[in-house]
Each structure stands twice: as C-alpha cells, then as structure tokens.
Chain A
Amino acid sequence: MAVPLSKRETCRLTRRLLLLQVLLNYRSMQGEGYLYALWPWLRRSESRAPRVQAAAGFLNAHPVMASLAVGALRRRIEDGDAESRADELTSWKDSLCGPLGMVGDALIWDIWKPLIFALGALILLLTRSPAAWVIVAAICVLTYNAPLAWARHWGVREGYRLGASVLSTLNHPLFSALPKYLGRAGAVAAGLLVGISLMAGSRMQLMGAAQFIVGFGLTWFALRRGIPLLYAVPVAMGAALAVSLVRL
C-alpha cells in the first residue's frame, strides 16, 4: 500500500488547483493546468520529459472534481506509468473526463452554485438593507466555498490513494443522493423566489404584478425554446413597457 500524500503536498496541490483553468484551451482543455499543479514535484523528478507530457495531455473535468484526477495522476506518474505505459495513461486520462466532468457539473454548476446564490438573492429581496447585504454576501461565499475546499483536499488524497481506480470513488451513495436532495432544496428556493418576487412586484399595484408575469412568461418561453437571453430580455422589456404605455 502506498504511503499517503503528505499534508504539505496535499495542501500545495489543492492550492495550485485554484489556477487549473488559466491555460484552458480547445486542444488540451485543462491539461497544462495539471502540469502547473504538479510542477513543483515534477521539476525535481528524473526523466522529466515523458512525465511533463503525461501531466500536460488532454484532460477536462469539473475544477473541484479535478482534485481526484490530479491526485491519481500524481500517483500514476510516481509509479512510473508515464514512462512504461504512456499510451494506456493517455486513454485512462480520456476515460476520466466524462465521469469527473458530469458529476461535478451536475452537482456543483447545476445545483450548488445557483441554489446558494439564488437563496442569497431571495434574502436580499426581502431586506435590501446594507447590513443584510454584508452578512448575506459573506455567508453565500463561505457556504459555497467551505464544502468545496474540503472536497478539493479530500479529492487530492483520495485520488492519490486510489490511483488508476480513482473513478470507483464516484460509486459512493453520496454522489447520487446529493443531487436529489439539493435539487429539492432548489425547487423550494425557486418556489419561494417566485412567490416572494411576485409579491414584491405587486407592491407596485396590479401593474407590477402584470409586468412580473410578462417578464416571467416571455423568459420562460424563450428558455424552453433555447432562445438566448440576449433576445429574450429586450423583447420582455418591450412587452412590459408596452403594457405600461397602454395603461397610461
């Protein structure tokens, strides 16, 4: 059994992963970002060239789930796979992209981020006071980042421990349960948001409610049809202003 990654090295990899997407490009995607994360260790290692090539090759994952990939990649390069099994290492990296991308996107981009910040917007909508903003903004940023910082740290260690079989960690029931429960929380937040913002609009009498409904309806229709907000927003604005002018 391999010796676990030292705390110092785990922290360094976690920290350097924050710059994973600086070199994001359409050829190798985040590839060179992994090279950057592993560079302090790679530059001291022997047979550097094949290891650098192995680290910088094509790989794309969600930035948080990338911690699993970087830990596993470090382990495989350390085991000499970059020199002895270069082709297999390349196809293994390809095989990581789908699962690590989909799980991270579905959980973090699709649910976690919009949920936290929509709730923040909802609370601000209710109060709109400067003091509330300071508290809401701080809580949102901390609530969003705290579990992700932990996940990054855990991912690096777990990836290093599992090496080539890193994807087996995604079989943990938590990865299927979290989207389900957070999705429900999102549905609750969406319901509260519609109800409260409709009432906030209605503070401006019937016309406010009508304009809310126009904005909601037209945007909803545009989103269902795949029409970008670039067109949907001006059209909704035009319709709402027309409603106001008719009233005048």
Chain B
Amino acid sequence: MSWIWAAVAGMAVYLDTTAVAQIMICQPIVACPLWGWIAGRLDVGILFGIIFQLLWSGSLPAGAAKFPEGNVGALVATALAVQAAPAAGNELPWLAFTLAILIGVIIAYAGAELTVLVRRLMVGYAPRVTAAAEAGDNTRFSLLFAGAVGIHALAGLFLTAAGLLVGSILLKNVNGGAMPQVFRGIWPLMLGAGAAVVVSRFARRERLRWFYAALALGVGGGWLCL
C-alpha cells in the first residue's frame, strides 16, 4: 500500500512545482524528510532531502523552459531508499542508495518530457475553457478548469508510480550491504555535486570576495563543529 501513498505524495509534489500554488512544499528538504517520517525513516529522508535540494538548486521552472522535475525525482528516490533501508541503527545500504539517486535523476528528466506533453495537451484544452467563459457557462468553465488540475494530478501520479515501479524492480535484488566501504563515498560525492550547483548559481565575478570569505569561514566552522 505504501507505494500508492508515495504516488499520491508525488502527485502533490508535481502539482506544487508548477501548476498549483508553488508554495514550495514540493522542495526536497520539505517533501523527502516528510516522506521519510511517514515511512518510518526520517534520517534517510533528511539525507536525500539535502542531496536533492542542492542538486536541483539550479533547476528553474521559468516560463516555457523545459526543466527537470527534480522534486518528483527526489521523492521517488527517497521512497525507494526508505524501502531498501534496514531497521534504524544498521549500516545504511549505500549501493541501493546510489541506484535510488540515479533513478531519481532519470525520473526528473523523464518528468521534463512529461511536462512538455501536458503543456502541449493544454494547447487544445485551454480554448475550450475560454469558449465556456465566452458562453457564460460557469458550471462548464469550473468543471473544465478542475479537469485541467486533474490532468496535472494524473501526470504527477503516473510519473511517481512509474518511477517507483521501475525502481522497485531494479532494486529488488540489490544486496543492501554490498561493499559499503566503496558506496559510502556517494554521500560526499553528492554533497560536492550539489555544492557545485549552488556555487555556479551564486558565485559570480562581482560577488567572489563574499564567496571566498564565507568559504574560509565554512571550512573553519566545519572543522570546529563537525
């Protein structure tokens, strides 16, 4: 049953990303730990939330731009990772986590194509809403508009369910504890990848002195605190 709820959560994340409200409850540091908490592994949710939040910092749903649906991908990856994780306290299955991250990234790019399809579908759908408005038919107008929300919801549901299905099949036979000493390196690797995305967004030439000063502070602070 949990995959159905994960698909519903993915639907909510998909809706909030572009179509409805955009209040950013879809962001990985919100949605992934929330799913981890629901599924009983908040620690895994936080881990994946940090990784994907940084990784998709440069992904902007601006205008007609095609952008990876990173938020849905992050949720799919978290749901798969939580499924693969043993009881708390044991060694984390880093090989399964690595594959879950890869699946999350692939789902994000598949989501970009799906969003293009939905927008193309709306090219034919939206004039029907306008026609209902011109005719002054409020009921038809409201129903058609609700139908459009439903199309987005179905797209999100389908994307998440497909990701979970494919991911579950792929991760089914993965030995969670295989070579943990090798795959544990995925955590610093993904932190590095995410940090590169954030730096590329903010560290412009005119702000470099602010960046370097904070870098020195971060290294010093990290040395003392961590």
Q: Taking beta carbons and an 8 Å cutoff, which residues of A are in contact with B?
A: 18-19, 21-29, 31-32, 35-36, 39, 42-43, 48-49, 52-53, 56, 60, 62-63, 101, 105, 109-111, 113-115, 117-118, 120-121, 124-126, 128, 130, 133, 136-137, 140-141, 144-145, 183-184, 186-204, 207-209, 211-220, 223-224, 228-230, 232-234, 236-237, 240-241, 243-245, 248
The answer, among B136, B185, B223, for a CB contact under 8 Å with A241, is B185
Assess A183 versus B207: contact at CB under 8 Å? Given A29-B64, A137-B33. yes
**Would you list 25 pairs from A and B whose C-beta atoms are within 8 A, ordered by A residue?**
A19-B20, A23-B145, A25-B123, A25-B125, A25-B126, A32-B126, A124-B46, A140-B27, A145-B24, A186-B207, A187-B208, A187-B210, A188-B211, A189-B214, A191-B212, A191-B217, A192-B215, A195-B216, A195-B221, A198-B222, A200-B191, A202-B188, A208-B187, A215-B193, A233-B105
Q: Which residue of B lies closest to A114 (CB)?
A: B57
Q: Which residue of B lies closest to A127 (CB)?
A: B46
Which 8 interchain pairs have the tightest Cβ spacing? A195-B218, A199-B222, A191-B214, A215-B192, A201-B188, A25-B122, A186-B202, A216-B192
Whether B168 is near chain A, meaning CB under 8 Å from some CB there, is: no
Report the separation of the CA atoms of residues A141 and B54 in the bound assembly, to the nearest whole angstrom: 16
Which segment, of B5-13, B79-87, B127-135, faces chain A?
A: B127-135
Expressed in whole angstroms, the minimum distance between the Cβ of B182 and any Cβ of chain A is: 4
Q: Which residue of A lies closest to B67 (CB)?
A: A109
Are B54 and A140 in contact (CB-based, < 8 A)? no
- Which of chain B's residues 190-217 have a Cβ closer than 8 Å to chain A? 190-204, 207-208, 210-217
Assess A184 versus B210: contact at CB under 8 Å? Given A118-B57, A200-B191. yes
Interface size of B by CB at 8 A reads 97
Whether B39 is near chain A, meaning CB under 8 Å from some CB there, is: no
Expressed in whole angstroms, the minimum distance between the Cβ of A155 and any Cβ of chain B is: 15
Report the separation of the CA atoms of residues A212 and B30 in the bound assembly, to the nearest whole angstrom: 24
Whether B219 is near chain A, meaning CB under 8 Å from some CB there, is: yes
Whether B163 is near chain A, meaning CB under 8 Å from some CB there, is: no
Which residues in B have their C-beta under 8 angstroms from that of A42?
133
Which residues in B have their C-beta under 8 angstroms from that of A136?
29
Are B134 and A110 in contact (CB-based, < 8 A)? no
- Which of chain B's residues 108-152 have a Cβ closer than 8 Å to chain A? 108-109, 119-120, 122-123, 125-126, 129-130, 133-134, 136, 138, 141, 145, 148-149, 152
